[in-house]
Amino acid sequence: MIVSYDLLVNALIAGVLLGGFYVAVTVGISIAFGILDIVNIAHVAFIILGAYIAYIVNLHFGLDPILVGIVTLPAFYALGAVVYQIYYLSFERRGQEALRGLAFFFGLLFITEVGLILVFGVDYRYVSAIYVGPSLRLGIADFPLRMVVPCVAALVMFGVLQLFLSRTFTGRAIMAVSQDPLALRLMAVDPIRIKRIAFGISVATAGIAGALLIVIQPVEPSVGREFIGRVFAIAVLGGLGSLPGTVVGAMLLGIMESLTATFYGPSWAPAVAFGFLLLTLAFRPQGILGR
């Protein structure tokens, strides 16, 4: 088989751009699941909620969807803090988080989804922004702006988070909290407060990721389910607890999906991606950059 050079280059570019978007979708799971040990299945529902908020504000006020995502950050942070507080009081404090906590987040997922269906129906919705249509062409390479802008936004968000986690006292406490909560208390830090902050941040990233999602593709309420498997796969592939690992995992998955979709057809993409995940875990159970 002769592989067209043009096709290969463009598939790679598309993969990297898609991977960048996956960073935004997964980084919150990386914090909640990878660092805090909270299996937040509902993360994708918060992403779809973010997408719909971006949609509705964009429709009525013509505001840029990504700007809407940034403006609503505090609201999503507060939502996350409240959800964690409920989760903590109802399950974690009693040591029942394993199964009942999972059921709690499943419930949140369905309630959010059904709520969105009741309000908006099941039609696909999309946003308008100047970068949704056009493409940048450099030689043979094609850069669709509706992919480039979310990718850049996602990487900026990742950079800010990484700096926060590695350079601030609160950030370091977030990295430490699930390893030994009592030891953290002996450092005069309240582990519950730290988890609440971290979970708030995690959900805040979902708001942004939702705005990016609706820039990339039209959205309907149950589209989030496509991402549940993917986000957990990326977090595990990159290495739980490692934010840079999440970027590596997201990029790898994006590139693999794009190459497979281009050369063998889109239906093979998930099979190849998850096959790669299984292989990685067989040889490196802690993930690519896992500690």
Partner 1 sequence: MASSLTITNLHAAYGSVRVLEDVSLRVGAGETVALLGTNGNGKSTLMKCIMGILRPRTGSIVVEIDGDRHELIGRSTEEIVDLGIALVPEGRRLFPKLSVEENLMLGASRRTARAQMGRNYDFCCATFPVLAERRRQLAGSLSGGEQQMLALARALMLAPRILLVDEPSVGLSPLLVSRTIDTIKLLKEQYQLTVLMSEQNFTQAIRIADRGYVIVHGQIAYEGRSAAEMNDNELIRKFYLGI
The contact set with partner 1 (CB under 8 A) reads: 169, 172-173, 175-176, 179-180, 182-190, 241, 291
Q: Identify the helix (H) or strand (E) that includes residue 95.
A: none
Least CB distance to partner 1 at residue 241 (A): 7
Token pair for residue 96? 């029942």
CA neighbor of 203 nearest in space, from 11, 7, 62, 42: 42
Give least dist CB 194 to partner 1, A.
10
Residue 95 Rama label (left phi>0; alpha psi -120 to 50; beta): left
Least Cβ distance, residue 182 to partner 1 (angstroms):
7
- The answer to whether the CB of 24 falls within 8 A of the CB of 47 is no
- Shortest separation between residue 168's beta carbon and partner 1, angstroms: 10
- Helix/strand/coil for 66: helix
Distance, first Cα to last Cα, the chain: 41
Question: In the complex with partner 1, which residue's Cβ is closer, 137 or 291?
Answer: 291
| Cβ at position 45, least distance to partner 1 in Å | 30
Give least dist CB 189 to partner 1, A.
5
Kindly tell me the burial class for residue 139, based on how many C-beta atoms sit within 10 Å of its own C-beta (0-12, 13-18, 19 or more): exposed
Give the Cα-Cα-Cα angle 154, 210, 107 (nearest 5 degrees): 130
Q: Which residue lies nearer to partner 1 by CB, 229 or 244?
A: 244
Q: Based on CB atoms, which residue is closest to partner 1, 188 or 282?
A: 188
Given the complex with partner 1, which of 70 and 189 has the nearer CB atom? Answer: 189
Three-state DSSP at 142 gives strand
Nearer Cβ to partner 1, position 181 or 229? 181
* Distance in Å, CB of 87 to partner 1, minimum: 21
In whole angstroms, what is the distance from residue 23 CA to residue 243 CA? 9
- How far, in Å, CA of 159 to CA of 239, rounded? 18
Can you tell me whether residue 69 is helix, strand or coil? helix
- CB crowding 177-188: b at 16 or more within 10 Å, else e: bbeeeeebeeee
Cβ nearer to partner 1, comparing 140 with 183 = 183
Closest to partner 1 by CB, 240 or 255: 240
